Amino acid sequence: MATRSVSQEAKDIHLATRMIHLGARLQVLQAETSLSYERLARLYREVRQESPPKGMLPFSVDWFTTWLPNIHATIFYSIYQYMSLCTSLPKGEALVESYRLYLEQASAGRLEGAGDEPVLSFTRAWVLVRFFESEMMQMAQCASCQGNFVAHAQALTNGFVCGICKPPPRAGKTQASRVIRKKKKRARSGQNDHVQ
């Protein structure tokens, strides 16, 4: 600890600050920097003006294979893969830059679920990268559109069809669209009242 350079510490603080802004949990910061738990917790409180949340990280592999999360996870991981292959950014930096690009894509493309809270949180994105590193997940090619999508490592990928080519029957029925449908229904019944 005593021999750690000041410039490395400055880099770690800068990286941790950017990750906190993106919503990273303390466990993520501990894994990606060499700063102590106490210093990270203090930094977290300074940046967000609140205590870091406690509790377990979201560790479910299955979450990434459900319809909407799978599309978001796939967009993020494709950007991250490209960043890792085509730039010399260290992992932490590549994560931050990829996640920022994902957020831009998710809101610019008006992706479903792109509300105030992104479907894929920064911590989930980090967990996803860990799953790939430990070979619990892989990319599988869609037999219909040939795009590559996040999938279980053990899943049979022959004849795999992605969630965009074959959305589930209830896809698109978000809370927002339910609210719009209700409003339309109310407006219609209002009109009928006038006619009668």
Site residues (vs Zn ion, CB under 5 A) = 142, 144-145, 162, 165
- DSSP H/E element including 141: strand 137-141
57 vs 145, which CB is nearer to Zn ion?
145
125 vs 162, which CB is nearer to Zn ion?
162
Q: Phi then psi for 149, rounded to 5 degrees?
A: -125, 150
34 vs 144, which CB is nearer to Zn ion?
144
33 vs 65, which CB is nearer to Zn ion?
65
Residue keyed to tokens 């592999």: 61
**Pairwise CA distance, residues 84 & 103, whole Å:** 18
Closest approach of Zn ion to the CB of residue 150, in Å: 13
Exposed/middle/buried for 53, CB within 10 Å: 0-12, 13-18, 19+? exposed
Closest approach of Zn ion to the CB of residue 143, in Å: 8
Closest approach of Zn ion to the CB of residue 146, in Å: 7
Closest approach of Zn ion to the CB of residue 144, in Å: 4
CB 64 within 8 A of CB 168: no
How many Cα neighbours within 13 Å face the side chain of 146? Answer: 0
Closest approach of Zn ion to the CB of residue 82, in Å: 19
CB 105 within 8 A of CB 99: no
145 vs 179, which CB is nearer to Zn ion?
145
The radius of gyration of the chain from alpha carbons, rounded to an integer in Å, stands at 21
